[in-house]
Amino acid sequence: MAMTETASAPATAAAPTPAAAPPARAHWFRRLLRDRAAALALVVLAALILAAALAPWIAPHDPFANSRSVMTPPAFMAGGNPDHWLGTDGQGRDILSRLLFGTRLTLTIGFVAVVIGGGLGSLIGLLSAFYPRLDPWVMRGVDILLSFPAILLGLALVAVMGQGTLPVILALAVSSLPDCARIARGIAIGVMKQEYIEAGRAVGLSDFTLFHRYLLRNCISSVMIFLSLRFGQIILIGATLSFLGLGAQPPQAELGMMAAQGRDFLLFAPHIAVIPSLVIFITVLAANMAGDALRDVLDPRFQA
């Protein structure tokens, strides 16, 4: 009997197979749409993205050209009319057309910055938790990055690279990296304590297999939730940098820059600054609401 138990011990040690990922959450999109606020936020975001993607085809006028028909002051800064539904700016350019192209550039800046900063930050956080020897060094570097505000990073990159869209994207990506790294590290530390990780090591799985199949798959949903919430903040910070003159430069159309160009006309033509500012507000609000709803659906801690 003792010999039988001893012989069966290795088979017992090799038997456990790590559960790769939590149970699939069926119909999560349907549950997401049950929340009316979340559904409205998703519709608004989808409409903004669609309008931005189709801007070259649906814009009623050239966003960079002055309209000769409205160049007589003060008509060139008047409100909406049949030819210019949202009016014209201080240079006689159609606000609706510039709004479409400005939304396109603003969303592109936010998306690229979140993908770069979130992707690199999440990878750094996961590797820091997976290899404990790297953790003290990596986290000290993350702490250093956390001490620099995004605007200060933007100023530094502008001083080195010059004004433009690329320095703003890099500044936003670098400012997102430490937050994403800390969030991913915290999630990964909890996953690394699970029994299936120890079982995978016991049966001789490679580090790549453990990292990709078990750690990454169990952390990706929580990381995506954080990035969806971060997207609205990135858009707001990017618009702020452009408002300060660090981002897109004339004659480009960007929402923050459009608001800055209209601040000199607030007393007699407030629509020039108010309309792009309102679009920024709606975009950030919709992104935050969609992120909150996505967290409620995908995060098991918020499940009923």
Q: Collapsing DSSP states into helix, strand and coil, what is residue 300?
A: helix
Domain 92-304 architecture: Orthogonal Bundle (1.10)
- What is the sign, positive or negative, of the torsion defined by CA atoms of 35, 40, 43, 48? negative
- Give the domain ranges of the chain: 92-304
**Segments in the chain forming alpha helices (H):** 2-14, 28-34, 36-53, 55-58, 95-130, 135-146, 150-161, 165-192, 195-202, 207-209, 217-243, 255-261, 271-298
Tens of pLDDT along the chain (304 residues)? 444 444 444 443 444 444 444 444 446 667 666 777 878 888 999 999 999 999 999 988 888 877 655 555 555 566 667 777 887 887 878 889 999 999 999 999 999 999 999 999 999 999 999 888 888 888 888 888 888 877 787 778 777 887 888 888 988 898 888 889 999 999 899 888 888 888 888 888 888 888 888 888 888 888 888 888 889 989 998 898 889 888 888 888 899 999 998 888 888 788 888 999 999 999 999 999 888 887 777 665 555 4
Of 115, 28, 107, residue with least CA distance to 287: 107
Interatomic CA distance for residues 222 and 297, integer angstroms? 11
In terms of Cα–Cα distance, which of 255, 251, 241 is closest to 284? 255
- In sequence order, which residues have a C-beta less than 8 Å from that of residue 36 and are 6 or more positions away? none
233, exposed or middle or buried, with CB in 10 Å at 0-12, 13-18, 19+?
A: buried
Q: Is 135 exposed, middle or buried (0-12, 13-18, 19+ CB in 10 A)?
A: middle
Q: What is the DSSP letter of 211?
A: I
